[in-house]
Amino acid sequence: MGTLSRFADSLIGSEVVKLGNEINRRIQAGETIYNYTIGDFAPSVFPIPSELEDLIVACYRDGYTNYPPAEGIGELRSSVSKFIERHFGISYNQSEVLIASGGRPLIYSLFKTVVDAGDKVIYSVPSWNNNHYASMNHGVHCMIDTTPEQDFMPLPADIAPHIEGAALLCLCTPQNPTGTTMGKANMEAICDMVIAENQRRGEGQKKLYVMFDQMYALLTYNGIEHCNPVSLRPAMKEYTIFIDGISKSFAATGVRVGWSLGPADVLAKMKALLSHVGAWAPMAEQKATARYLAMNEATDAWFVSFRERLQERLMAFYKGIIALKDKGYAVDCIAPQAAIYLTVKADLKGRVADGKVLETQEDVTNYILGKAQLAMVPFYCFGADRSSPWYRISVGTCKPEDIPVVLSLLENALHVLG
């Protein structure tokens, strides 16, 4: 019997944090580590838009330091609505927009709002934290193992066996950790299943909702277009709750402004929960974000430059990894599609390093960290099987001039293994 609550005893620590602790230990010991683990931006490399920064400072100086409304200020909800309609062609009124301090409180409150203990939660792996949120709510894990052949995206056929009676389907595109996207045909097929399932359910039965995380929707490359359930199937508006915000699109992870779009009755309950938690975006940041999102020319210019800089880094790593593969090394890579992530394969289990066999993928991770000075996040940190040889590289802290150095170090480490 634990001395704390059963909930506290059931919590599982983050694998990414565990890896981060090892990285910090090495850095403190004087090692140079190229740390591409965290899904964040180095402000010295990717500062937030200057217009947004100026607006935030001005709003603090203008005295916007009091409590905001629990649902977010009307000015921001209106601005978000217009921003979303401009970029995605879908329309939401203020009662269908909820503001919070980033995406995490919105995800937490959505799970609490629609998932009871014993309810089925459908999600794919690798994916960010769905396994933890399902566990925290004592949901039944309907976990789909995805494959590189499908860009680590779930297929309609994967979802179909679980959909009857499910409470929540979690979709994320562009995907964290893979940086890959779901195509239109598969999205349409999944939407059709959700609509049909909800039509089968009788009056008074719980609906099947879709949590649609599109934090990286405006960061796509090589002609890839983001698609979402409501654009493709307007009937999905009744069942879809978007998770979105400025964290990734504007390199503003620490500014903490996120929003959900969805059915007003669902958002009202999420708001009620958040009013007790107090996970509000600060008043000044809300005011500043509302004004910045309305600056169409400034935001358009930002995206042109931002996407270009991110794609430059992703493509440099991609070409370098593929060049190593072509030399015969046991590595591979999926071409960049979106977000700030690159999916990399290091299939090195069984190789011998310094007289020791790399018996597990964790051994491989530690070898690359120690020998190549490269820190990547293994997919087992995102719910995938612990034997998965796939990794996430995040370029939000990456300087272009470091990439040739990192690739050279990696090649040397691979060469040692033969």
Q: Is the separation of the CB atoms in 156 and 201 below 8 Å?
A: no
For 91, left (φ over 0), alpha (ψ -120 to 50), or beta? beta
Nearest to 281 by CA among 17, 50, 77: 77
Structure tokens at 41: 């931006």
DSSP reduced 3-state for 199: helix
Q: Which helix (H) or strand (E) holds 97?
A: strand 97-100
What CA–CA distance (Å, rounded) separates 314 from 395?
7
Q: Is the separation of the CB atoms in 89 and 82 below 8 Å?
A: no
What CA–CA distance (Å, rounded) separates 92 from 113?
20
If 0-12 CB within 10 Å is exposed, 13-18 middle and 19+ buried, where does residue 335 land? middle
Q: Is the separation of the CB atoms in 353 and 341 below 8 Å?
A: no
User: Max CA-CA distance within the chain?
Assistant: 66
What CA–CA distance (Å, rounded) separates 87 from 195?
25
Q: Which residues contact 50 (CB under 8 A, 6 or more apart)?
A: none
Q: Please, how many CA atoms are within 13 Å of residue 415, restricted to the half-sphere of its CB?
A: 9
pLDDT tens digits in sequence order for the chain, 418 residues long: 568 888 888 887 777 777 878 888 888 999 899 999 989 999 999 999 999 999 999 999 999 999 999 999 999 999 999 999 999 999 999 999 999 999 999 999 999 999 999 999 999 999 999 999 999 999 999 999 999 999 999 999 999 999 999 999 999 999 999 999 999 999 999 999 999 999 999 888 999 999 999 999 999 999 999 999 999 999 999 999 999 999 999 999 999 999 999 999 999 999 999 999 999 999 999 999 999 999 999 999 999 999 999 999 999 999 999 999 999 999 999 999 999 999 999 999 999 998 899 999 999 999 999 999 999 999 999 999 999 999 999 999 999 999 999 999 999 999 999 7
Q: Which runs of E-coded beta strand occur in 202-340?
A: 209-213, 240-245, 258-261, 331-333
Q: What distance lies between CA 164 and its chain's CA centroid?
A: 27
What CA–CA distance (Å, rounded) separates 134 from 163?
16
SS (H, E, C) 326-379: HCCCCEEECCCCECCEEEEEECCCCCEECCEECCCHHHHHHHHHHHCCEECEEH
Residue with tokens 């609906």: 207
What CA–CA distance (Å, rounded) separates 284 from 97?
19
Q: Is the peptide bond before 43 cis (omega within 30 degrees of 0)?
A: no
Structure tokens at 183: 């195509």
Q: Is the separation of the CB atoms in 211 and 169 below 8 Å?
A: yes
Q: Which domains does the chain show, CATH number per domain?
A: 6-46+304-417 (3.90.1150.10), 50-299 (3.40.640.10)
